[in-house]
Structure 1
Amino acid sequence: MSVLLIPILFLLLVTLFLSFFTVKQQSAAIIERFGKFLSIRHSGLQMKIPFIDRVAGRMSLKIQQLDVIVETKTLDDVFVRLKISVQFKVIQEKVYDAFYKLDYAHDQITSYVFDVVRAEVPKMKLDDVFVKKDDIAIAVKMELNDAMSDYGYDIIKTLVTDIDPDAQVKEAMNRINASEREKIAAQFEGDAQRILIVEKAKAEAESKRLQGQGIADQRREIARGLEESVEVLNRVGINSQEASALIVVTQHYDTLQSLGEETNSNLILLPNSPQTGSNMLNDMVASFVASNQIGEAMKEGKKNPKNLE
């Protein structure tokens, strides 16, 4: 009797063990009875009839990601490789459709991605592919949502994560970008040089203006000093012409004196004979007298026109 009891107890333990199973969080188990769908079980401790019911499969309800690399040609005949990342998950209410209607979800999604990308990218030039990559991702998402929702899958997001043109095309693009940057740099350098030239010209003009103003002030002061000198000489009985001649002769000798004080000077003042000052004074007085005579004659001619005839 005891010999038969042991196998019975063992069979009961095995049956009890096979009657219970667990389902992990964010997953679902599909139960079949004699090969026919029975129910869907979610997370927790679950029970089934051993040897009659079986767990046909388990499906994750988490978000999954599939990376698809598509090689295609753009409108300007450039071959480019795009990496499309598709984030999707099984809809909890449609686990039956996801399990029984579709065997290879990844292959199905990949096929739709290829179809959409190879339909959209050939309409764009290479530069537009980079600019409008979000439009490509949206087009892929819309197509996948329409197709995969019937199979119990929800497309969360699609991303164009990489755009890789042919190596020769990338090299040409880099050369173009480098040329554009060099062109911009040259323009900035030219602008800087132009600004420097303009500012330098302005500085020189301002310097010349100040220099001219200084010379004008200097001459004004010299003229004022000469005027005061003539007035002093007039007070002692020397007329303006004689005073002017005397001032010129005085400046002549002052110049000779200053040249004599400069031991390293190579300047020679001509004429520099001893009688130069006297000759200069006589010439100036004679020229003043002659100019006065001419002036008086012109005045008489205006008063008596017949004398001119």
Structure 2
Amino acid sequence: MTNYGWEIVQTLIVDVEPDETVKRAMNEINAAQRSRQATREKAEAEKLLQVKRAEADAESKYLGGVGIARQRQAIVDGLRESVVAFSHNVPGTSPKDVLDMVLVTQYFDTMKEIGSHSKNSTVFIPHGPGAVKDVDDQIRNGLLQGHAGSH
């Protein structure tokens, strides 16, 4: 414009109207960027959810183990008290006699439990006075071997 005596110092552009293909391309670029970000966020949320599930499962298993350990300790404490009380109240009995009697009682309780539920499968267990003694010997031998192996 200087050829005509005009000098343009500054121009204010109010409304730019690019070609429709340029608009479409820019919109697609923006949409792709947003889609990538949404996918990242969704994957991060799923990862966090899986980690929290695993932590909850581990905590649940730990607490279940603690509960079982406490239950078994209570059973052992109860048996110890029963053996001591029975041995003192019935002259001539030894703690082994009392434990043998408890083992037989538990054996019959187990047999009763197996037979009382209709949904149980058939279980064949040797039964008779000698079978109870065999179970007693097997449990005792297993405990002794486990004890010897831990030293």
Normalising to structure 1: TM-score of the pair? 0.39
Asked if 1:202 is matched to 2:78, the reply is no
CA shift digits 1:30-74 (9 cap, x unpaired): xxxxxxxxxxxxxxxxxxxxxxxxxxxxxxxxxxxxxxxxxxxxx
Q: Indicate if the aligned counterparts of 1:259 and 1:265 stay in contact, CA closer than 8 A.
A: yes
Report the counterpart of residue 274 of structure 1 in structure 2: 128
1:227 to 76, 80, 83: 80
Paired residues in the alignment total 134
- Residue 247 of structure 1: which of 90, 96, 102 is its match? 102
Matching of residue 184 in structure 1 with residue 37 in structure 2: yes
Aligned-partner Cα distance in 2 for 1:239–1:231: 9
Letter in 2 for 1:256: M
Gapped regions of structure 2 (runs ≥ 5) = 145-151
| Runs ≥4 residues deviating over 6 A | none
Q: Is the 8 A contact 1:230 1:243 kept in 2?
A: yes
Q: 1:267 to 1:161 in 2, by over 3 A?
A: farther
Q: 1:280 to 1:184 in 2, by over 3 A?
A: closer
Quote the residue 1:4 is aligned against: none
| 2:66 maps to amino acid | Q
Q: State the distance in 1 between where 2:62 and 2:133 align.
A: 40
Q: Which has the higher helix share?
A: 2
Deviation at 1:268, TM superposition (A): 1.2
Question: For residues 119 and 21 of structure 2, what CA distance do their matches in structure 1 show?
Answer: 75
Q: 1:269 to 1:211 in 2, by over 3 A?
A: farther
Q: What residue number does 2:65 align with?
A: 212
What pairs up with 1:110-121 in 2 under 5 angstroms? none
- Three-state SS of the structure 2 residue aligned to 1:260 is helix
Deviation at 1:227, TM superposition (A): 0.9
Offset at residue 163 of structure 1 (A): 2.1
Structure 1 or 2, whichever has the larger Rg, is 1
Q: Which has the higher strand share?
A: 1
* 1:19 equivalent in structure 2: none
Cα gap change, 1:219/1:274 in structure 2, threshold over 3 Å: closer, same or farther?
same
After superposition, the C-alpha distances for 1:192-218 in whole angstroms (9 at most, x for unaligned) are 101111111121112112211111111
Among candidates 242, 246, 261, match of residue 116 of structure 2:
261
Partner of 2:147: none
SS of residue in 1 equivalent to 2:16: strand
Percent of aligned positions that are identical: 35
- CA distance in structure 2 between the partners assigned to 1:215 and 1:266 by the alignment: 26
* 1:259-280 Cα distance to aligned partner (Å, 9 max, x none): 2222332151523x22322444
Match of 2:25 in 1: 172
Aligned partners of 2:37, 2:135: CA distance in 1, in Å? 69
Alignment partners' CA distance in 1, 2:19 and 2:38: 29
Give the root-mean-square deviation of aligned CA atoms.
2.6
Distance 1:215 1:205 in 2: 15
1:95-140 CA distance string (max 9 Å, x none)? xxxxxxxxxxxxx8xx755xxxxxxxxxxxxxxxxxxxxxxxxx51
Tell me if the contact between 1:249 and 1:280 (Cα under 8 Å) persists in the aligned partners: no
Displacement of 1:182: 0.2
| Shift in CA distance, 209/267, structure 1 to aligned 2, threshold 3 Å | farther
Please give the per-residue CA displacement for 1:162-201, whole angstroms capped at 9, x wherever unaligned.
1233332222211111110000100110111011111111
